[in-house]
Amino acid sequence: MSALLRCTVLGACLCASTAAWASPVEFYGFGARRMGRGGGGTAIADGAESVEGNPAAIAGIEVPDLMVGYMMGDARFAPVPELWWDTNRDGLVNEADAPLSASPTYDRTHGALLGAAVPFGPRVAVGIALYLPPGRLLRLSTIDPQIPNYIFYANRQQRYELALGLGVRAWRGLGLGVGYEMIPATRFKLVGTIGLKLDDPESGTGTEPAEVSELVTTDLDVHAMSLDIIPNGAPTVGLHWDLGELTPALDGLAIGGTWRGEAGLPVDVDIDLQINAGTEEIGDLGPVLLPFLLGVQLGVYDHYLPRQVNLGAAWTFRDRFLLSADIRRTAWDRMQLNIAEVYGSELAGAGIDLGENPIADGNPYTVVLVPTWSPRVGGELRFDVAEGEKLGPIRAIVRGGFGYEPSPLAGQGAGTALLDADRLIFSGGLGLEHLDPIRRASPRRVRWDGFFQIHRLASGELARVNPGGPTAGYTIDGSPVPIGGHLLTAGVQGSFDY
């Protein structure tokens, strides 16, 4: 059975060609123990939980480690005042439009946590970590930059994650690891013909004039439509060093570090339409046909995964007390927002040529994003609580952690209403460990863990100077847009050494 498990994990690592990374793991971490300690733990060897955080930390494990859990969460943000918008779709923004209610309501977080780390000899281990939401695996979504929107939370809380890792024990407690988070790129192409035909106005019946719907006929003929999913992804490299194996004076001290590359989910949309506008015979005029060619190229970049560096240290005292600290640098300054952008267009035909790119992008925006440094600290206290006949020594673990995530949103133009704020992270957790009751002669352990996290966004406001009169995206009463809110998540997990 152990050989079958090794083959299964190794096969999943080789075959996962459409994995995605940007998910709740980005906000909370992976695994109940790590999430209970604040989401850090780069220098902690947590078995299967380390696959996502630092693949080097799985090097040197002696037996396979399996985990399964479930997490749930929700987010609440400050309500947005009513906005001006062309709600009646007459092409004008004025008092005739009903107010637009745009208070942010985003997906709840809930999904299964699955992980496995399997050794192949005393020095090599491979692992897989999966977050699987039940609602959907993937959704591509864009935002309108004029409407208030929390850009780092929309469309990111409910999508799957698959992380793969390989760890190798190199020398005296030094582990090296590599991983890969693969995010699919997408190309969509539509080729078709739209027909618009105007009939003779006198073709109506009786003395009543013909209705417009009776005079104009339209049809759409889709010639070709294709969607290509293309492998794309970000590599990860890691280091984990148990310094106690280097010298007894450093017993219990470990350091770790990871570097992850940049990736995302680019979507290229190519629309190629022929528009045949014409008339039937009208009076003394014969049929008229005016063909136009419309080509539009759209670019969308969804679920951006920034380049990131993590450094951490951890200290364990007599297997009773653990303390860890991490610092994370995230290169948000290179972020591409999930705003649809027209980067190419063509409109020609019927003797008319409007030149290169006649269709302008209707979502221009100016945003200033900066890199961020985010600290995490966490710890746990372990103590024996009972001695079971079948379970052996039963150990309880109390965990806690704290983190600070500054906002990378440093500035924006007058035409956008993007929202964000600094985040304070508080976490805690409880756990129980005992021996495998089925194989009592084995030292292998069974672990039961629970966690919670509270993320609080700093209160603030986005003040927008109205250019005068009703303007799309601006508050009707002229008040600033409030910023603030919180995220809550909690979960349980079981894991065991196989």
Q: pLDDT value at position 1?
A: 41
* CA 166/CA 129 separation, integer angstroms: 12
CA atoms within 13 A on the CB side of 427: 33
Write down the pLDDT at residue 12. 39
In angstroms, the Cα distances linking 460 to 78, 275, 457 are 10, 49, 9
Q: Kindly list the structural domains of the chain, giving each domain's residue range(s) and its CATH number in brackets, ordered by start.
A: 2-184+231-262+306-331+371-497 (2.40.160), 185-230+263-305+332-366 (no CATH)
Three-state secondary-structure class, residue 141: coil
Give pLDDT, residue 399: 98
pLDDT score recorded for residue 202: 60
Give pLDDT, residue 350: 66
pLDDT given at position 340? 78
Give the model's pLDDT for residue 423. 95
DSSP structural state of residue 294: E
pLDDT value, residue 448: 96
Non-local (6+) Cβ contacts of 8 within 8 A are none
User: Looking at residue 411, what is its pLDDT?
Assistant: 92
Burial 233-249 (b: 16+ CB within 10 A, else e): bbebbbbbbbbbbeeee
Query: In the chain, pLDDT over 70 holds for what percent of residues?
Result: 86
Q: Which amino acid is at 5?
A: L
Instruction: Output the pLDDT for position 7.
Output: 45
pLDDT of residue 441: 58
* Cα–Cα distance, 177 to 427 (Å, whole number): 28
Q: Rounded to an integer, what distance in angstroms lies between the CA atom of residue 371 and that of residue 262? A: 13
Pick from 116, 164, 112, 113: nearest CA to 5: 116
- pLDDT at res. 286: 63
Q: List pLDDT tens digits, range 305-325.
A: 889 999 999 999 988 999 999
pLDDT of residue 11: 41
**pLDDT score recorded for residue 158:** 63
Average pLDDT per block of 10 residues along the chain, 498 residues long:
44 36 75 94 93 92 93 91 90 90 83 94 93 77 84 70 91 93 74 76 56 66 81 86 94 96 81 80 67 81 85 94 96 85 79 74 85 96 86 92 95 89 96 82 84 96 84 90 94 92
Q: How many beta carbons lie within 10 A of that of residue 413, not counting itself?
A: 12
CB atoms within 10 A of CB 2: 11
